[in-house]
């Protein structure tokens, strides 16, 4: 990057950013960030007042939209009372947040270890599973994302791991179900389910199931493509874990807290994992928060034995007060049911209708407020619109599609050859249809690359 200070006169915020902020996952010199001046509901705007409809919910976290007054009130009230506290004390906000999370969690998942975000939740879930079982190996999926810290990135099954390798030892990757691009040459979803389970059973056999502490998976794979597992898959993984005494970790950092039209995506299949990792939607990221929900059986193994882990800000009162307000809001405003309705009544049908008219849409998939369009050059061969992990010129079709969305006033979530439709659960139906109309227009840019 040019080491000269930026003199761009756009605004002090832009200048200071370019001179001093080191951004995630980026070549720093290539960045030209929008300076966001404000946000409300499903929209945010820049310093000139130009606004975008947020179809990405930022990083799929603002489930209740931006600047929800009830969350702001709760944070203000907590700030007046008690901003911060060492985690060895108890306090009203943290206790209530833990109780509410346990109330909405499935089965006997009843104890909460709080972290500052998703990656730390995954780190601690792995540590809990290893100490509980006395085993060290962890199985995780290809095409997954679990966070960017040392252990969580080792579990991650996408190119974001490459830059952190050699990663934490003891992690083995396996293929999960993905009917549209089956690793198992399956003809339909049921065959995909059976073959993916057989592959997992074989992986356990050759790895030595007795050496495996945990299988960690996203109940519905998020960042890697909104891959909804076929019915029966998660039940099958549960059975394999039970047979071999393996801890099942459901990573619900993105899919949890209403995103999939359930409190946790895994609820849809009535499967109870042993540990759930959460973050994002628990309080929509108004103050950073994540954690692990722990079954009574696993918590019991730490009743006498010390759990070897901790964080200065575990159970942060401001973050937990926001979680209390957020969970109450989900309940009182029926937002979990609303997400299901958005998917069934509006987003799913609208995207399928777009598929009729846009040859670039290879597949439409999703549920709740969690949808993907997989874009292709050719529907018959399913050749992706851009190659796997493309950058620069090779990624031009997706970059042009994203630029078209932004020009029209829509902020898209774009990854590889997909766009994800993941708006706030609170988005108004009119706004949603307005966004879908912009998407419709932008897709004509992608269509130009079709054979």
Binding residues for ligand PLP, rule: CB under 6 A, are 59, 117-119, 122, 145-147, 218, 222-223, 251, 253-254, 279, 290
Q: How far apart are CA 118 and CA 123, in angstroms?
A: 9
Which is closer to ligand PLP, CB of 251 or CB of 262? 251
Q: How far apart are CA 130 and CA 443, in angstroms?
A: 46
- C-beta of 360: minimal distance to ligand PLP in Å? 26
Q: Which residues are CB-contacts of 152 (< 8 A; sequence separation ≥ 6)?
A: 118, 119, 120, 122, 123, 146
Which is closer to ligand PLP, CB of 148 or CB of 408? 148
Alpha-helical regions (H) of 293-389: 296-300, 317-332, 335-341, 348-357
- C-beta of 122: minimal distance to ligand PLP in Å? 6
Is residue 253 within 8 A of residue 292, CB to CB? The reply is: no
Which is closer to ligand PLP, CB of 253 or CB of 446? 253
Which is closer to ligand PLP, CB of 283 or CB of 360? 283
Is residue 166 within 8 A of residue 177, CB to CB? The reply is: no
Q: How far apart are CA 58 and CA 292, in angstroms?
A: 23
Which is closer to ligand PLP, CB of 223 or CB of 261? 223
H/E stretch holding 358 reads none
- C-beta of 441: minimal distance to ligand PLP in Å? 28
Which is closer to ligand PLP, CB of 122 or CB of 350? 122
- C-beta of 222: minimal distance to ligand PLP in Å? 5
- 395: tokens are 């990624």
The CB density around residue 116, as the number of other CB atoms within 10 Å, is 19
- C-beta of 226: minimal distance to ligand PLP in Å? 11
Q: How far apart are CA 130 and CA 140, in angstroms?
A: 14
- C-beta of 109: minimal distance to ligand PLP in Å? 17
- Helices then strands, counting H and E runs in the chain, come out as 14, 16
Pairing of strands 36-40, 43-46: antiparallel
- C-beta of 101: minimal distance to ligand PLP in Å? 16
**Residue whose beta carbon is closest to ligand PLP:** 118
Which is closer to ligand PLP, CB of 177 or CB of 397? 177
């Amino acid at each position: 990057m040019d080491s000269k200070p930026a003199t761009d006169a756009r605004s002090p915020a832009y200048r200071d950013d370019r001179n001093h902020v080191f951004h995630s996952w980026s070549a720093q010199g290539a960045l030209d960030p929008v300076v966001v001046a404000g946000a409300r509901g499903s929209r945010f705007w820049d310093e000139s007042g130009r606004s975008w409809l947020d179809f990405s919910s930022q990083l799929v976290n603002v489930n209740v939209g931006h600047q929800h007054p009830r969350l702001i009130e709760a944070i203000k009230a907590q700030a007046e009372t008690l901003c911060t506290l060492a985690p060895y004390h108890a306090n009203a906000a943290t206790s209530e947040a833990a109780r509410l999370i346990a109330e909405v969690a499935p089965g006997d998942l009843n104890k909460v270890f709080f972290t500052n975000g998703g990656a730390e939740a995954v780190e601690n879930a792995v540590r809990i599973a290893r100490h509980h079982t006395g085993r060290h190996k962890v199985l995780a999926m290809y095409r997954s994302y679990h966070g960017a810290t040392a252990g969580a990135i080792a579990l991650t099954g996408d190119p974001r791991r490459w830059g952190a390798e050699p990663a934490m030892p003891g992690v083995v990757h396996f293929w999960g179900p993905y009917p549209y691009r089956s690793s198992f040459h399956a003809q339909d979803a049921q065959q995909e389910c059976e073959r993916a389970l057989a592959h997992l059973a074989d992986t356990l056999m050759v790895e030595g199931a007795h050496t495996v502490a945990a299988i960690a998976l996203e109940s519905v794979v998020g960042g890697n493509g909104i891959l909804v597992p076929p019915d029966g898959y998660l039940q099958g993984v549960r059975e394999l874990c039970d047979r071999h005494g393996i801890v099942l970790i459901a990573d619900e950092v993105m899919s949890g807290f209403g995103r999939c039209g359930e409190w946790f995506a895994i609820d849809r299949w009535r499967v109870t994992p042993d540990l759930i990792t959460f973050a994002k939607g628990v309080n929509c990221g108004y103050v950073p928060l994540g954690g692990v929900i722990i079954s009574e059986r696993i918590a019991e193994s730490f009743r006498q034995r010390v759990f070897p882990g901790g964080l200065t800000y575990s159970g942060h009162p401001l973050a937990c007060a926001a979680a209390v307000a957020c969970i109450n809001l989900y309940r009182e405003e029926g937002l979990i049911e609303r997400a299901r309705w958005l998917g069934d009544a509006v987003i799913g049908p609208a995207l399928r209708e777009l598929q009729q008219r846009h040859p670039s849409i290879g597949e439409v998939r999703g549920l709740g407020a969690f949808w993907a369009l997989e874009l292709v050059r050719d529907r018959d061969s399913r050749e992706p619109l851009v190659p796997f992990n493309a950058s620069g010129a090779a990624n031009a079709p997706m970059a042009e599609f994203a630029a078209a969305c932004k020009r029209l006033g829509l902020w898209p979530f774009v990854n590889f050859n997909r766009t994800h439709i993941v708006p706030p659960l609170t988005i108004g139906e009119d706004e949603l249809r307005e966004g879908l109309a912009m998407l419709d227009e932008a897709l004509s840019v992608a269509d130009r690359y079709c054979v």
